[in-house]
Amino acid sequence: MFYPPHGCLQDHAGMESLPPLLTVKELKELLGAERVGREALYAFARKFGVRFGKRYLIPRQVVLALVEGRLEELEKTPGVEARGR
């Protein structure tokens, strides 16, 4: 099970210690289970993540962009396309 470093959302330096790919469950733990709903996270994973079999994985760079409020910038990056289902 993934446990984010203590205080990593307050201190962005701790975010660099995240694994390269996070599951939806790990992202929910990182953001706080009561803050974001399951369906919203799966919609986010479908748009920005990678699907391996039945599992969605979200790249660390996408998580960093989410936490730092840079998702619009990520969507405009050439070669990086948001995918729908």
- Tens of pLDDT, residues 25-78: 999 999 888 888 999 999 999 999 999 999 999 999 999 999 888 888 877 766
Q: Residue 85: is its pLDDT beyond 60? A: no
Task: Identify the three-state secondary structure at position 57.
Answer: strand
Q: Residue 2: is its pLDDT beyond 90? A: no
Phi and psi at 21, nearest 5°, equal: -130, 135
> Distance between CA 2 and CA 44 in Å, rounded?
19
Q: Which residue has better confidence, 7 or 46?
A: 46
Q: Which amino acid, residue 63?
A: V
> Distance between CA 31 and CA 4 in Å, rounded?
10
- Conformational region of residue 61, where left means phi above 0, alpha means psi within -120 to 50, and beta covers everything else: alpha
Instruction: Residue 30: name the closest of 49, 54, 7 by CA.
Output: 7
